[in-house]
Amino acid sequence: MTRFAIVFLALSLAAAQGCAELGIRNPFPDDPLTGGSEAATSRLLDIPLPPGLERYSTHGYQTYGAYGGREGLEILRGNIDMTRIAQSLHASLAAQGWQLRLFLRKGDKSSHIYERGGALALLHFRRQTLMTVLEIWTGGRLPDGSMPSFADGRDGQAPPESGGAHVPLPGTVEQWGETSGGSAGGLRERAL
């Protein structure tokens, strides 16, 4: 029995080394455990990253925003301490003039929002079983009072009417009921 185990172990070891020498590539190139490439700098923020983080080519995107900077999403993973990554990135961002505007932490998740001029950067950290995931979101700061842009084209407007329901516009006064002798009766609604 032990002879069989030794032969099996030796053949397994030889096969594993042989595949690497033959140049057989990984059949799962975008697997989060094996398919990343070492990342030395962030593509979106142009700052150095701590060693041990890997970038995955199929995760994220990059465009150029209206404010002239890079916008998009960059996802990095690595078996590295979340606090160490956050401290390293904070020092690098502060050196380039970024100001920390919001810091939230709950359990094994942490979000940091930085601002520089007309640009915002959101760093979201998550600790998983084997790795720490870092999501870097960047984009231009919206003007005060802006509404989010929805995929259905409503851009901050109220949902379309359905079933006879009416949605009043902000700042309007609506009245329902009978009017007798110049005074309004029934229900009256005012914007708060």
pLDDT higher than threshold 90 for residue 100? yes
Mean pLDDT, rounded, for 134-152 = 83
- pLDDT: is 84 or 33 the higher one? 84
Whether pLDDT at 124 is above 50: yes
What percent of the chain stands above pLDDT 90?
A: 31
Q: What domains, with CATH codes, occur in the chain?
A: 36-140 (3.30.310)
Residue 109 confidence (pLDDT) above 80: yes
Q: Give the C-alpha distances (Å, rounded to integers) separating 85 from 31, 81, 107, 124.
A: 22, 6, 16, 11
Three state DSSP letters for 8-49: HHHHHHHHHHHHHHHCCCCCCCCCCCCCCEECCECCCCCCEC
Give 45-87 pLDDT, tens digit per residue: 999 999 989 987 777 888 887 777 789 999 999 988 888 999 9
Model confidence pLDDT, tens digit, residues 5-14: 676 766 665 5
pLDDT at 186 over 80: no
pLDDT-based confidence at residue 162 (cuts at 50, 70, 90): very low
Mean pLDDT, to the nearest integer, of 93-104?
A: 96
CA–CA separation, 68 and 112 (whole Å): 22
pLDDT at residue 62, as a whole number: 83
Q: What is the mean pLDDT of residues 109-115?
A: 96
Identify which has the larger pLDDT, 6 or 32: 6
| Confidence bin at 163 (pLDDT 50/70/90) | very low
The pLDDT value recorded for residue 180 is 53
Q: What is the DSSP string of the chain?
A: -HHHHHHHHHHHHHHHHHHHHHTPPPS-TT-TTT--EE-SB-TTT--B--TT-EEEEEEEEEEE-TTSSEEEEEEEEESS-HHHHHHHHHHHHHHTT-EEEEEEEETTEEEEEEEETTEEEEEEEEE-SS-EEEEEEEEEPPPTT--PPPTTS-TTPPPPP-TT---PPTT-EEEES-EETTEE-SEEEE--
